[in-house]
Homo-oligomer: A and B are copies of this chain.
Amino acid sequence: MNKMRKEHNLTKNQKIIFDLIDKSSQPLKAYSILYNVQKKGIKAPLQVYRALDKLVEIGKIHKIESRNAFIACHNSSCQVAKATAFSICEICEKVTEISSAGLSKYLANFKDKDGMKYSKYNLEFFGLCKKCTLK
């Protein structure tokens, strides 16, 4: 298996689960995914979690840690899940992946007090989305 390859051939379960997440307008939770794919033959939590783990690993989806939910990656630059940033609306729970060259660059180069750099990061912003601000 060529690790450099960008196109991963998803297996049946991975494809079913990725398609569901990809079509969704908001992040999906593991058990909600499970209920939605039971008619397609995926019966157990573990089948879902295994597919999710793999999809996260190859960067097709991201986990929103503060929500225990999963969202498809629509950011062509993050084929791997190593540098992620999201905005989360605290009212409607809308989540948007942020793709800002400035932000990525700043964080990728950030060094702590000891001068250490880190290989991955995950950033979650919270506040109100445009819609909810206007209400």
Q: How far is the CA of A103 from the CA of B107 in the complex (A)?
A: 9
Known: A65-B65, A100-B112, A106-B106. A125 touches B121 (CB 8 A): yes
Q: Which residues from B are CB-within-8-Å of A66?
A: 65, 122
Count A interface residues, CB 8 Å: 29
The chain B residue sitting closest to A115, CB to CB, is: B130
User: A35: CB under 8 A from chain B?
Assistant: no
Q: Is the CB of A118 within 8 A of B87?
A: yes
Q: Is the CB of A110 within 8 A of B122?
A: no
Q: Which residues of A contact B (CB under 8 A)?
A: 65-66, 87, 96, 98, 100, 103, 106-107, 110, 112-114, 116-130, 133
A107-B123, A122-B126 are known; give 6 further A-B pairs, CB within 8 A.
A87-B118, A100-B113, A106-B106, A120-B125, A121-B124, A123-B124
